[in-house]
Each structure stands twice: as structure tokens, then as C-alpha cells.
Amino acid sequence: MAPIIRVEGLTKQYKLYERKPGLWGSVSTLFSRRHRIVRAVDNISFNVAPGARVAYLGPNGAGKSTTIKILAGIVTPTSGRCEVAGVVPYRERVRNAANIGVVFGQRSQLWWDLPVADSFAILRRIYAISPAVYDKNMRLFRELLDIDQLAAVPVRKLSLGQRMRVEIAASFLHDPRVVFLDEPTIGLDAILKQAIRTLIRRMNEEVGTTIVLTSHDMDDVSEICDDLILIDKSRVVYQGTVAALNSMEQRRSVLFDYRPAPAAAEALARLAQHFPAIDAVTPQAQGRARIDFRRDALDLPALIAHLFREFDIVDFYSLAPDLEEIIRGVYQAGMPNQRAA
Ligand SMILES: Nc1ncnc2c1ncn2[C@@H]1O[C@H](COP(=O)(O)OP(=O)(O)OP(=O)(O)O)[C@@H](O)[C@H]1O
Ligand SMILES: [Mg+2]
């Protein structure tokens, strides 16, 4: 299927004028105009398939929000090309707006002084939303986000969590083909985060909405997205599935609980000698230990058999690879399959 988002060599530079401190500084810049260039987005290319749920991730300052602003038609790129649902966003802002929804966790897209119900009425008109679509979506927002009680309240009086419920509902209200969510769960409690993740998935499954999400909360990523685009220093370092990244990672961990016994400490200390693929054995609480190992080099059944011989095992847990740890590894040491052993 043809991509719904195409990004090719996208670059955004900002000129920052240097300014000496104090009054004299602000006067002298009128003459000297010394500036430096900040590359917020540097030659980034990727495609997104229709109906995909993609996490667009990178460290602070990597250029995620700037990319989303370009795709939403808010910012014009310095060079490169992009297209969202066949529209060049910064050339045809209005046509683009009909195809997309945008949520910025850090700032509001709504009319600050208007009651929530009025904002929705305006959106309904702007996007010419049919009664069937409006009612269907409002039913879902009521069920998952409980927004009815907020109808009469001006947006500026809403709490952060209340405002985010409304922002997210507003972004999906017209069944857009793509929704960009830039840190949609930042600062929210666990229950609301869950409701928002469920809503995003439901809209994706029921309407086919393509989702592009940025978040520093890896639970958002694992619960919402199948695909990842990882950028670092404004460049794409990985594009593929979450599953493929997980399986590249050879570091794995198990936890086990055992009945404390005099010989246990020594048995723990000997583990790494028996199994050279073990990187670390870490006693946790009393009667619990963690083993970190390299999956490709370890005979896991042999390790488990060994543990059952040496310890009075009470419980045993295999820890799923931790996405946050894997991604931190990518930023610090490169892709897992390209590192020196
Ligand atoms: N309007 C602007 N003027 C000058 N520099 C900017 C502007 N907007 C962004 N930048 C710079 O571009 C870089 C990328 O910023 P951006 O907000 O896109 O990062 P981000 O990946 O969203 O980071 P975060 O995870 O912290 O939200 C940063 O160095 C930032 O300071
Ligand atoms: Mg950002």
C-alpha cells in the first residue's frame, strides 16, 4: 500500500541571533547580526503506511516536535519534502487540517476562553462532521474519557487531565486519517493514561486512523505502537517494528525467588563461573535474585535446571526485554546488532 506519510530529506534550520548581555548587547546586535544555525531537523526521511501506529522517538531536542509541526502545516521546512495523505502540509494548510488531528501535550489547540461544548460545535462546523460520525465519536469519548461534565467549562479553567481529555477527543472528532500525538500523556495519572491509550487504539482499529506518537513513556509506546522510528541528533537511527528491535537485543534477564539457606550466597556467587554468558547476578531483596545474560550465548534450560538443583526455588520470572533500556542502549552504544561483542 502507498504510504500515507512521506518524508524525504526534511530539514528545518533556525537562525539564532547572538546577543551580548545588557543594554549595550541589545544595541550592538543591530549592527553585527552575528548568528548561529540550529538544525532542529536534519535531513530526515521515513514513510508511514496507512493504518499504522508509529512511535516517533528520540532524546530531548532531537527534533520530534519540529517534525510534527511541519507535518501539521504549522512550520515550513528549510528544505526537503513531505506529504500527508497526498497533501503538502505547509502549502495547503486547510486541506491538510481536514485530514489530520494534532495533540500537543505541552500546549492547547483549543479556544482558550470558550466552553468545551462551544469548541466542539466550532470543530463540527469547520470539518462539516456528519451527525452519524459526531454521535459515534461522542459516544466513544463519553465512554472512555467522561467528557460530558466538562461541556460548560471554559478550556482555560480545566485541570491538565481534563484539558487533555478534551484535546484528545477534539483531535479525533472528525475521523481524520492521521492523528499526531506529541506527548499526549505527559503529567497524567495512571488511569487516565490507560483510557487515552485505549481510545487511540480503538480509533485506529475501528476507523483505521494512522497514529504518529511521540512520548518519553515507554508504556505508551508498547501499549499503542507496533512500529518505531528512532531519531538521534536529528537523524533516523532505526525504523522498523518494536518486535524486531526487541529480538535484536540479546540481553535478557530472569528473576527468581528461593527459600534462604546458608549455602545460597555462595551458590549465587558461583553462577557466573558455571555460565560465562551471564553478565551479572544481583541479589535483590532477601530471597530474590536477578540474572542478566546474553541470550545467544546461554543454554537457558541448563541454567534453569542448575538453579532448581542449587536453590529451593519458590517462583521464577522471565523479564520481557525492557524497551526503555534497549532504546537507551541504542543512543549510548548504537544498534544492538551492530555493537562489538
Ligand atoms: N522556534 C525555534 N527556534 C529556534 N530553535 C528551535 C525552535 N524550535 C525548536 N528549536 C530547536 O530545535 C531542536 C529540536 O527541538 P524539538 O522541540 O523539535 O525537539 P524534541 O525532539 O521535540 O524534544 P523534546 O523531547 O524535548 O520535546 C532543539 O535544539 C530546539 O532548541
Ligand atoms: Mg518535543
167 plus 227 within the same structural domain: yes
In a domain, 340, yes or no: no
Question: What's CA 117's distance to the chain center, in Å?
Answer: 29
Is residue 221 packed enough to be buried (19+ CB in 10 Å), middle (13-18) or exposed (0-12)?
Answer: buried
Shortest-distance Cα residue to atom 17 of ligand 1: 65
Q: Would the pLDDT of 340 be above 80?
A: no
Ligand 1 mutation pick, 7, 56, 64, max ligand atoms within 8 A of CB: 64
Cα(67) to ligand 1 centroid in Å equals 9
Ion ligand 2 neighbours (CB, 5 A) are: 64-65
167 plus 116 within the same structural domain: yes
What is the bridge-based pairing of β-strands 35-48 and 79-84?
unpaired
181 plus 280 within the same structural domain: no
In a domain, 339, yes or no: no
**Residue 245: which residues within 8 A CB-CB, separation 6 or more?**
228, 238, 323, 326, 336
Domain of residue 41: give its range.
Answer: 5-246
Cβ pair 297, 277 in contact under 8 A: yes
In a domain, 255, yes or no: yes
Q: Would the pLDDT of 29 be above 60?
A: no
68 plus 168 within the same structural domain: yes
Compute the distance between CA of residue 12 and CA of residue 38 in angstroms, rounded to an integer: 8
Q: Is the dihedral of CA 299, 301, 302, 303 positive or negative?
A: positive
Q: Would the pLDDT of 28 be above 60?
A: no
Q: Would the pLDDT of 274 be above 70?
A: yes
Choose the final residue of a domain: 189, 211, 246: 246
Cα(25) to ligand 1 centroid in Å equals 25
Choose the final residue of a domain: 223, 246, 269: 246
209 plus 281 within the same structural domain: no
264 plus 281 within the same structural domain: yes
Q: What is the SS3 assignment for 168?
A: helix
- Pocket of ligand 1, beta carbon within 6 A: 14, 16, 38, 40, 58, 60-66
In a domain, 326, yes or no: no
Question: What pLDDT score does 21 carry?
Answer: 62
Q: Would the pLDDT of 335 be above 70?
A: yes
Q: Indicate which atom in ligand 1 lies nearest the CA of residue 183.
A: 27
In a domain, 274, yes or no: yes
Compute the distance between CA of residue 296 and CA of residue 203 in angstroms, rounded to an integer: 39
Percent over 90 (pLDDT), the chain:
77
236 plus 294 within the same structural domain: no
Ligand 1 mutation pick, 11, 19, 36, 65, max ligand atoms within 8 A of CB: 65
How many domains are there within the chain? 2
145 plus 199 within the same structural domain: yes
Shortest-distance Cα residue to atom 5 of ligand 1: 14
Q: Hey, how many other C-beta atoms are within 10 angstroms of the C-beta on 27?
A: 10
44 plus 118 within the same structural domain: yes
94 plus 144 within the same structural domain: yes
Question: What pLDDT score does 341 carry?
Answer: 47
DSSP bridge partners of 8 = 81
Choose the final residue of a domain: 197, 229, 246: 246
Question: What pLDDT score does 16 carry?
Answer: 85
Cβ pair 134, 126 in contact under 8 A: no
Question: What's CA 183's distance to the chain center, in Å?
Answer: 7
Q: Would the pLDDT of 199 be above 50?
A: yes
Shortest-distance Cα residue to atom 1 of ligand 1: 14
Cα(226) to ligand 2 centroid in Å equals 21
267 plus 199 within the same structural domain: no
Q: Return the CATH number at 85.
A: 3.40.50.300
Question: What pLDDT score does 333 carry?
Answer: 80
pLDDT in tens, 91-142: 999 999 999 999 998 888 888 899 999 999 999 999 999 999 999 999 999 9
pLDDT in tens, 226-241: 999 999 887 899 999 9
Q: Return the CATH number at 259.
A: 3.30.70.100
